[in-house]
Amino acid sequence: MTDPHDRPPVSAGTRNGTGPTPKNRPFQVETHGLDVITESERKGSPRTLLWPWFGANVSVFGLSYGAFALGFGISFRQALAASVIGIVFSFLLCGFVAVAGKRGSAPTMVLSRAAYGVRGNRLPSAISWMLTVGWETALVALASLATATVFDRLGWGGGTGTKVVALVLVGALTVAGGVMGFDLIMRLQTLITVVTGVLTLVYVALVAGHVHIDAVTAIPDGSTQKFIGALVFMMTGFGLGWVNAAADYSRYLPRSSSGTGVIGWTTFGASVAPLLLTVFGLLLAGSSNQLSEAVAADPIGALTTILPTWFLVPFAVVAVLGLVGGAVLDIYSSGLALLSAGLRIPRPLAALVDGVLMIAGSVYIVFVADDFLGPFMGFLTTLGVPIAGWCGIVLADLLLRRRDYDEADLYRPRGRYGDVPALPLLLTLAATALGWGLVTNASADWLTWQGYLLGPLGLGGKDGSWAYANLGVLAALALGFLGTLVLGRHRVRGQETPDAQEVPA
């Protein structure tokens, strides 16, 4: 029996065999899983990518990254450079991956089967699933903590009861968006973009008086290693956290859409809000050591301490909506990744499963964990390494291709893309082993085993100057990309010959 969420595309002009889908239909649960989007359902232009990407990244959480960057012990100008380069470059990677979406009209973790094989792709799909579930969990937990902080300042109670109610409401909204699917997400992100954008500008205007340029410019420069560490952290905190989902929204665009437009609107839509918010966050954190330290414990709630009381409720709205905007995209993509990893259930049910795990993880962060920043940085860096390796492999594979994907063969283990090819899997394992050997996570006890190559490679060991430069992420990205570019060229050329049908696994 054919599995409805893992199959070749249905006939053009149908949606799961039910006929054309009207563009202005009422909200309904999206039934698409891993299948290819039909010609009749592809719509819009690259410009429409602005809304989901801007809405997912306009969160005031971006302000907290200013404190995170300065926490590496670098100056304002160094943190500014690290932020700009890290944010734009990492989202540019998303833009390149998004091109695959319009060329194949399938989810990101299906399109990567061209590089990894049909069943070999289950390994990066599982990693992608863990990353997106982790992100949605962190965002929902932050939204719940921010709500409790606002209620506490207003004297409305910010204890356990408030946190429970906030967690239930935020979790329900996130799960609803993930279950309903693409159409609701696109409309929701448009609303979030407008409301959150306006209220964020008001927040900036209200707290601008807390910026003290003399204090900011007096922060001394840090070492090159610390600068690189901040740069890589910004990459993993922004674009590298999205690359594994970058084609999930561009897959709905017509095949004739401009590739340059897809890259440009994805990069611009995703980057513009984080850039502005992080720069202002740098100014705030650099002006007050007390605020900077508070952000580490409560990244969103700490930002309320410099607000007038009358704006606390609007701030809660902007904080929750911005975080939900990111969490909704994550839960949608995590459901698709779970299906691609091999679980055979309908897409809405996969999103619901992820929602249950998200709530459980949020409960731990909100009610049990004492520290947010340490485990969060450890999580980003640890999963950022294999995802960087995957990204390098997929980008090189995409660069080598001259034709659109063969849709049917993305679902056939005996098709041109193969089943479990050795090269991409070995490259992923090698990139991950190299990367984990070059990163450290001393703030998370369960990750102290990392950094095992820093000593043998003459980089000063786990306590040396390179210990927190996070070189492993860059090394994994480079090894995956260059390894595929050099060793995978012949394989891609063979796949694109007109008579390529059955290939050995």
What CA–CA distances, in Å, run from 362 to 317, 438, 447? 19, 30, 21
Provide the angle, in degrees to the nearest 10, between the axes of the packed helices 160-180 and 182-207.
140
pLDDT greater at residue 200 or residue 113? 113
Write out the H or E segment, with its range, that includes residue 267.
helix 259-287
Cβ–Cβ under 8 Å, residues 324 and 170: yes
Q: What pLDDT sits at residue 199?
A: 84
pLDDT greater at residue 246 or residue 35? 246
pLDDT tier at 38 (50, 70, 90 boundaries)? confident
Pick from 294-303, 334-343, 489-498: least confident? 294-303
- For the cut 80, the answer to whether the pLDDT of residue 191 exceeds it is no
- For the cut 80, the answer to whether the pLDDT of residue 89 exceeds it is yes
DSSP state of 404: -
Exposed/middle/buried for 164, CB within 10 Å: 0-12, 13-18, 19+?
middle
Q: What pLDDT sits at residue 388?
A: 95
pLDDT tier at 29 (50, 70, 90 boundaries)? low
**Cβ count within 10 A of residue 488:** 20
- Measured distance CA(255)–CA(503) in Å, rounded: 27
Dihedral sign, Cα of residue 109, residue 115, residue 121, residue 126 = negative
Share of the chain above pLDDT 70, in %: 90
- Measured distance CA(12)–CA(382) in Å, rounded: 42
Q: What pLDDT sits at residue 73?
A: 93
Radius of gyration of the chain measured on its C-alpha atoms: 22
Q: What is the dihedral of CA 412, 413, 416, 418, to 10 degrees?
A: 160
Tokens read off for 24: 């202005």
- For the cut 80, the answer to whether the pLDDT of residue 24 exceeds it is no
- For the cut 70, the answer to whether the pLDDT of residue 443 exceeds it is no
- For the cut 60, the answer to whether the pLDDT of residue 1 exceeds it is no
The pLDDT of 103-109, averaged and rounded, is: 89
- Measured distance CA(413)–CA(499) in Å, rounded: 17
- For the cut 90, the answer to whether the pLDDT of residue 42 exceeds it is no
Cβ–Cβ under 8 Å, residues 406 and 118: no
pLDDT tier at 30 (50, 70, 90 boundaries)? low
Q: What pLDDT sits at residue 343?
A: 82
Cβ–Cβ under 8 Å, residues 244 and 123: no
What is the overall mean pLDDT for the chain? Answer: 85
Reported as a single tens digit per residue, the pLDDT across 163-183 is 888 888 888 888 887 777 667
Cβ–Cβ under 8 Å, residues 84 and 69: no
Reported as a single tens digit per residue, the pLDDT across 345-382 is 888 888 888 888 889 888 888 887 776 666 776 777 78
pLDDT tier at 33 (50, 70, 90 boundaries)? low
Q: Which residues 6+ apart lie within 8 Å of 149 measured at CB?
A: 158, 298, 300, 301, 304
- For the cut 90, the answer to whether the pLDDT of residue 84 exceeds it is yes
Q: What pLDDT sits at residue 498?
A: 72
Pick from 48-62, 183-197, 204-218, 413-427: least confident? 183-197
- Measured distance CA(369)–CA(367) in Å, rounded: 6
Q: What pLDDT sits at residue 21?
A: 38
Angle at 421 between CA 416 and CA 425, to 5 degrees: 140
Reported as a single tens digit per residue, the pLDDT across 404-416 is 898 899 999 999 9
- For the cut 80, the answer to whether the pLDDT of residue 502 exceeds it is no
**Which residue, 173, 135, 131, 150, is CA-closest to 57?**
135
Count the alpha carbons within 13 Å of 99 in the hemisphere toward its beta carbon: 22
pLDDT tier at 12 (50, 70, 90 boundaries)? very low
- Measured distance CA(349)–CA(420) in Å, rounded: 27
- For the cut 50, the answer to whether the pLDDT of residue 18 exceeds it is no
Reported as a single tens digit per residue, the pLDDT across 445-497 is 778 899 999 999 999 999 898 998 999 999 999 999 999 999 999 999 999 88
Q: What pLDDT sits at residue 154?
A: 83
- Measured distance CA(153)–CA(174) in Å, rounded: 26
Provide the angle, in degrees to the nearest 10, between the axes of the packed helices 347-367 and 160-180.
160
3-state secondary structure of 258: coil
Threshold 0.75, pTM exceeds = yes
Reported as a single tens digit per residue, the pLDDT across 207-248 is 999 999 999 999 999 999 999 999 999 999 899 988 998 998
